[in-house]
Structure 1
Amino acid sequence: MINLIWFFMIFIGIITSFLYNPIDFSTIIAQSAESTVKLCISLLGIMAIWSGIMKLCEKSGLIKIFYAVLKLPMKILFPKLEYKNERALYYIVMNLASNMLGLSNAATPFGIKAMEELQRINTNKDTASDYMVKFIIINSACIQLIPATVISIRANLGATSPSSIVIPTIITSAITLIIALVLEKVFRRWFI
């Protein structure tokens, strides 16, 4: 159903734009395609660098420091998980460390591995476990310490101070995470 809604929205937008001014429509499409390709290529470089840095951090043992720092809060958020599946907890910490550094693309493989490990201990395979739901919430509303992707996009688009968003991002993402965790507790009581 959602695919049909998106299709009609895009289709109606294209037809309306084309009927309104076909010359501008073609020019805008060409310019948008060109700027999109340029942006994607510049982001590929940034993502490759940060993914490599995360791999180096993992190989050098720096990730173990992240793991040691984040393990206590994760034990509180995911009680008894380390006894059920410590690899799941490790992948969750890796995912959150990557997200905190603003490396969402580098965090994705760790998130997938974490969900696979959480599925192994899930007693009801057709339904997301409480651990899975909480991980999705924390992953989606993770605190951003260094929003590297956004900073690189702002720099590529010519912002005069691309890193000026760091403090507002930390504050906003921290508030979002707190609200998300509170709502998770509230909804769990109402619906379970």
Structure 2
Amino acid sequence: MINWIWFLMIIAGIISFLLKGDGKGLMETMTESAQKSIELLIGLGGIMAVWSGIMKLCEGAGIVDFIAKVLSFPMKLLFPGLERKNKKASGAIIMNIASNMMGLSNAATPFGIKAMEELQRINPDRERASDYMVTFLIVNAACIQLLPTTVLSIMSGLKSSNPTEIILPGVITTIIALVSGIISSIFLKRFYR
């Protein structure tokens, strides 16, 4: 679906240039956009390599494990009784959230897949998502990040004067998204039983 949206946007842009009779402007815009994209990608590649290294150091230093321990209490509130039903699912969810919080989205993905597999094993209705699955999707979609490395890398690549200014607003908005999602889930659960 997203491919169609991008395709339609590109075609609409080309048609609008052609309707204005500005073929030269179309070619200049395409060339300039392609050049800026490559410059951004090259800059972003270097910055992402630095942040990935820093995140790997954090992972090796045990910071991710520390966050996992800190998350054990909120996990009991969000996923009551899950640890008794499936310890592997609980552990995978904690590691997914901890990895996402440190900006290690590549490391978080396998934990998320494992968590869903384990949650499906204890799901009484195989055709519907369980409450645990829905809650995990909400938490994962809100994606609270203490260190949003991708955004920091993009802002640095675009030569932002203060790329770290996004950290606090990012944390606040993701917490709001998480709370809104959990509250919505609680209310909607009553209608879709």
TM-score bracket, shorter-length normalisation: 0.7 to 0.9
Residues 102, 149 of structure 1: 8 Å contact kept: yes
Distance 1:46 1:184, change over 3 A: farther
Structure 1 unpaired stretches of 5+ = none
Please name the residue that 1:13 is paired with. Answer: 13
Aligned pairs (5 A) from 1:89-100: 89-100=90-101
Counterpart for residue 71 of structure 1? 72
Identity of aligned residues (%): 52
1:161 matched to 2:170? The reply is no
Cα distance, 1:22 vs. partner?
A: 2.1
Residue type of the alignment partner of 1:34: Q
- Aligned counterparts of 2:69 and 2:160: Cα–Cα separation in 1: 36
* Structure-2-length-normalised TM-score: 0.81
Equivalent-residue separation in structure 2 for 1:105 and 1:123 (angstroms): 30
| Alignment-mate amino acid for residue 15 of structure 2 | I
With structure 1 as the length reference, what TM-score do the two structures score?
0.82
Point out the more displaced range, 11-20 or 143-152: 11-20
Gaps of 5+ in 2: none
Q: Residues 138 and 24 of structure 1: is their aligned pair in 2 closer, same or farther, counting only changes over 3 Å? A: same
CA RMSD of aligned residues (A): 2.7
Aligned equivalents of 1:84, 1:59: Cα separation in 2:
30
Q: For residue 163 of structure 1, report the CA deviation from its aligned partner.
A: 0.7
2:46 and 2:119 mapped to 1: Cα distance?
Answer: 32
**d(CA) in 2 for partners of 1:107, 1:47:** 16
Q: 1:51 to 1:112 in 2, by over 3 A?
A: farther
> 1:55 Cα shift?
5.2
CA distance in 1, matches of 2:151, 2:2: 28
Aligned to 1:152: 153
Name 1:123's counterpart in structure 2: 124
**Structure 1 CA distance for aligned equivalents of residues 43 and 110 of structure 2:** 21
SS of match in other structure, 1:102? coil
Counterpart secondary structure, 2:71? helix
Q: Counterpart in 2 of 1:190?
A: 191
Q: Aligned partners of 1:15, 1:145: CA distance in 2, in Å?
A: 43
> How far off its partner does 1:136 sit?
0.9
Q: Contact (CA 8 Å) 2:47, 2:156: kept in 1 or not?
A: no
Moved more, 18-27 or 6-15: 6-15
Change (3 A) 1:11 1:137: same
